[in-house]
Amino acid sequence: MKLTDIVIKALKAPETGWIIYSDESLAGFGVRVSEGGTKSFVLTHGKLRRRETIGRVGVVGLADARAEAKRRLAEYTLGKQDPTSITWAKASEDFIADGRAHLKERTLQDYRRMFDRHFRFGDLVVSEISADEIQRRIGKLRDRPAEQHHAFVVIGTFFRWAHRNYYVDRNPMERMVSRYRYRPRTRVLSDDELKQVWQAVGDDLFGKRVKLLILTGQRVGEIANLSQDMVRKEVVTLPSWLTKNRREHTFPLGTMAAEIMAGLSLPVRGKYKARAFENYQRFKARLDKASGVSGWTLHDLRRTFASGLAAQGVSLPAIERLLNHVSGSFAGIVGVYQHYNYMAEMCRAIGLWEAHIGQLVRHEEPMFRFVAKSAPKLIPDFRETI
């Protein structure tokens, strides 16, 4: 059909998906109509039949859209390459798909969260997203500096990828600078605070996970994504896809942690999901109120664990093994040639820590100190009664 303003106005939307009405006067030019009734001028060209969006009907007139289509076709014929016209929705999905080859699933989940929460550009062509609009979106987060910086980094990563893939002729963020300055947290809970938190948490899923964080020193996402296949007797093995440094991590469980773990309903096999602790904000606020301890995060329990072990006289290499750190004692050449697993030292450290926590919370059951009978074997019965 020959497209005119009257014809375009009368075009009907499909029941599902979208349909393209082609213009007989210009090959590849047409109007795409979505099931919601949205109409856009599009151009399909080349051997790969690549489709570009020129603009929405009503925003761009028919004559201007047809002229733009002719201009682009002429440039493609002459060999000039303009940025590929691709919508934000399609480009963001391609960005995630490309990342699967080298990024962890938890990182991709985080990208999706940022896109869905702060950068919903929909069918807007990527090359039409202005620096002003990006700054406006990021500016809305000024009351949350850490989240603002995180959003800045994610959208910046996307546009560097878009520039490399010729989706934008120029990176709109090349002159932007984040004002955020990272200040590492130093919060360590005192023994009294640990006791108050322990006694205030309930026996629900949130409470059990908080106690496991206190007893094991592992990361929040690792505890939240535990599954049955990772737990064997008194040993937990976190797969490389779950850990921050992409290294498999095996650590021992003490008596208290093993009892809590036995009471958890864990999925049979793990697969990373963006599991925050369910209703985290609400439960954390209740815990702060019930315990009387405030100004702390769940990640601070990891720092408290490390500091507490140091106070018990545990060596730094053993602490770093428990935390699955690859810097510090195991950085550089040491990390290449030193593969001793420190299981015996980790077992003793966990025994000392559980004894300390047991005394704090007046745990009345017998306490155990771990002693590795055979360090190379990770699954023997490590426990011996004091």
Give one DSSP letter per residue of 65-79, joined into a string.
HHHHHHHHHHHHHHT
CB neighbour class for 152 (10 Å; exposed up to 12, middle 13-18, buried from 19): buried
The whole-number pLDDT of residue 351 equals 95
**Residue in the structure block whose two tokens are 């074997």:** 377
Q: pLDDT per residue over 203-260, tens digit each?
A: 899 999 999 999 999 999 899 899 999 998 789 999 988 898 888 999 999 999 999 9
- Per DSSP, 293 falls in state -
- Provide the whole-model pTM: 0.61
Report the largest interatomic distance among the alpha carbons of the chain, rounded to a whole angstrom: 90
Q: Which amino acid is located at 231 in the chain?
A: V
Q: pLDDT per residue over 280-316, tens digit each?
A: 778 899 999 999 999 999 999 999 999 999 999 999 9
Q: pLDDT per residue over 136-149, tens digit each?
A: 999 999 988 889 99
Q: What is the spatial distance between Cα 267 and Cα 22, in angstroms, rounded to a whole number?
A: 51
Q: What is the spatial distance between Cα 324 and Cα 243, in angstroms, rounded to a whole number?
A: 8
The whole-number pLDDT of residue 103 equals 86
Q: pLDDT per residue over 331-375, tens digit each?
A: 444 454 455 778 999 999 999 999 999 999 875 443 443 333 333
386 — pLDDT class (breaks 50, 70, 90): very low
Please count the other Cβ atoms lying within 10 Å of the Cβ belonging to residue 149: 17
Q: Which residue would you say has higher pLDDT here, 125 or 339?
A: 125
* Residue 384 pLDDT greater than 50, yes or no: no
